[in-house]
Amino acid sequence: MKELESIIENSFVLSGRIFTLFCQLAKENNSDMAAKIMKSNMPIRKYIDYAAASATKSEYSEHVAKALQNAVTLRYWLKCIQMKNIVCPACEECVETLNHLINQLISCGMRQDVTKVLLQTQLN
């Protein structure tokens, strides 16, 4: 449970950093990319909360897998921003926090179940 609390805390930190980046992108008239990172970030928090409230191990694994999928999507959009903007400290902070969160989600104790759910989702 302590690991899940750390994941929840890091997801809040990530959300704050994503919001800062969102505001920066909006000021730079890059509202399309700003919308994409916000859209990708929202489900991560949702599925982490669902995992925390899940009643079964399989439910927990499914929600962690979905949070992980959305985190990987968000990382893709952040990398696109990095490629477009040579120096973007807000983006660098987001990527650093997100990579830490992804590592936590991968190693959250149910790696095999999460991987199984991820593979089943990709096959469907």
Q: For the segment 68-120, what is each residue's pLDDT rounded down to a tens digit?
A: 999 999 999 999 988 887 667 888 999 999 999 999 988 875 554 544 444 44
**pTM check: above 0.85:** no
- What's the total number of domains in the chain? 1
For the chain, give percent helix, strand, coil, nearest 5: 85, 0, 15
- Over range 19-33, report the average pLDDT: 89
Distance, in Å, from the CA atom of 63 to the CA atom of 67, rounded to the nearest integer, reads 6
Evaluate whether 2 touches 104 at the Cβ level (below 8 Å). no
CATH at 59: 1.20.1440.60
Q: In this predicted structure, what is the pLDDT of residue 1? A: 57
| Parent domain of 69 | 2-123
